[in-house]
Structure 1
Amino acid sequence: MYVIVVYDVDVKRVARVHRFLRTHLHWRQNSVFEGEVTRSQLYEIKQTLAELIDGDDSVLIYELPRENFNLHVIGTDRNPTGEII
C-alpha cells in the first residue's frame, strides 16, 4: 500500500521523527513523507511514532491504493522522486 505521513511535532522531537521516517519512506518536503510499505512496515511505523511523539504532537497517515491516485505538483517540487507513481 502507498502511504503519506504528515506530522506536526514539537521542535524538540522533529529531528527524531524525521530521522526515523527517512528509514522507511521518501521525504517529500517539510514534515511530509511518502512511499510504498507493507502492512507490517506500516504497523512498525505507527508503533514507533507513537513512542516518539508526545500528547500535543500530531501525525496523520493517509493510506492510498497505489493505482487510484495522481500527484499534481504546483510550484517547485522540493524533493522529486522521479517515477514513483
Structure 2
Amino acid sequence: MFVIITYDVNEKRVGKVCKKLREHLTWTQNSVFEGEITKGQFLKCRQQVEKIINPEEDSIYYYIVENPKNIKKEFKGTEKGDFDIFF
C-alpha cells in the first residue's frame, strides 16, 4: 500500500517524529513523508510515532491508498526528498 503521513508536532518532539518516519518512508516536504509500505510495517511505524506525540498538542494525519495505481502525483519546484550524494 502507499501511505502519506503529515504531522504538526511541538518542536520538542519534531526531531524524534521525523527520525522515526525516515526509518519507514521517504521525506518529501517539511512534515510530509510518503512511500510504499506493508500493512505490518505501517502498523509498527504508526505505533512508534504515536508513542512520541502528545495528542493534546500534536496532530498526525495518515492517508492510506490501498491501490497505488490510483495516485497521480504532480510536482513543481525544488525536490526535498532524501538524496545520496556522490563525489
Could you state the TM-score of these two structures normalised by the residue count of structure 2?
0.86
Hey, what's the Cα distance between the residues in 2 that align with 1:6 and 1:34? Answer: 9
2:20 is matched by which residue type in structure 1?
A: F
Q: How does 1:1-85 map to 2 (within 5 A)?
A: 1-54=1-54, 55-64=56-65, 65-79=67-81
CA shift for structure 1 position 45 = 1.3
CA shift for structure 1 position 43 = 0.7
Hey, what's the Cα distance between the residues in 2 that align with 1:61 and 1:42? Answer: 10
Deviation per CA, 1:36-58, whole angstroms, max 9, x where unpaired? 11111111111111100002100
2:22 is matched by which residue type in structure 1?
A: R
Q: Which runs of 5+ in 1 are unaligned?
A: none
Could you state the TM-score of these two structures normalised by the residue count of structure 1?
0.87
Secondary structure at the counterpart of residue 67 of structure 1: helix
2:81 is matched by which residue type in structure 1?
A: N
Hey, what's the Cα distance between the residues in 1 that align with 2:25 and 2:58? Answer: 20
Secondary structure at the counterpart of residue 34 of structure 1: strand
Aligned residues, how many? 81
Hey, what's the Cα distance between the residues in 1 that align with 2:16 and 2:63? Answer: 21
1:28 is matched by which residue type in structure 2?
A: T
CA shift for structure 1 position 80 = 7.5
Hey, what's the Cα distance between the residues in 2 that align with 1:48 and 1:80? Answer: 21
Q: Percent identity?
A: 41
Q: Which runs of 4+ in 1 moved over 6 A?
A: none
Q: Which runs of 5+ in 2 are unaligned?
A: none
